[in-house]
Amino acid sequence: MPSSTLSPSICCHRLFMIAPLLLISLLPFCSAMCLPCKQPHLSPRDVFVPPIESPTEGDIWLIASEQTVTWSIDDIPEHVTNPTGKLVLGKLNGDQEHLYTDIALAEGFPITDKNVTIIVPKVDPADNYIVVLFGDSGNRSPPFTITHE
């Protein structure tokens, strides 16, 4: 007795042959739908690494004293990536920097201020401390001493 329906195996076989062709034929339409997508406009930006002018090598800071860290903005570009500064204390051990990033000496100040005044934290006295100025980029001071005397 003849049947007007296809067997399931023939149906699946045709579907597997037709499905890839159907998908390929739809690709131009899919890519056309993506054409209106636009990337957000990004303004030009420059990395700025302001050189730290103080503290200088050999400076001595007393724990709990008020100190001013200064840096130059002579070569500041027109478009600074991050104009908000953060100052952290660190130590040099040979070529290795160890930064105390958990607690900032100062943060949220404009890099264009050229200085920030801090209170020297209670730390172990040593002669290999540095400060690092973050904002657009990190820049470190030469090593200096922190003491309690």
pTM over the 0.75 mark: no
**Cα–Cα distance measured from residue 66 to residue 63, given in angstroms and rounded to the nearest whole number:** 9
Per-residue pLDDT of the chain (149 residues; tens, 9 = 90+): 555 555 555 555 565 566 666 666 666 665 555 555 555 655 555 677 789 999 999 999 999 999 999 999 988 888 777 889 999 999 999 889 999 988 899 999 999 999 999 999 999 999 999 999 987 667 899 999 999 97
Q: DSSP code of 36?
A: T
What's the CATH fold of domain 52-147?
A: Immunoglobulin-like (2.60.40)
Torsion-angle region of 83 (φ positive above 0: left; ψ -120 to 50: alpha; else: beta): alpha
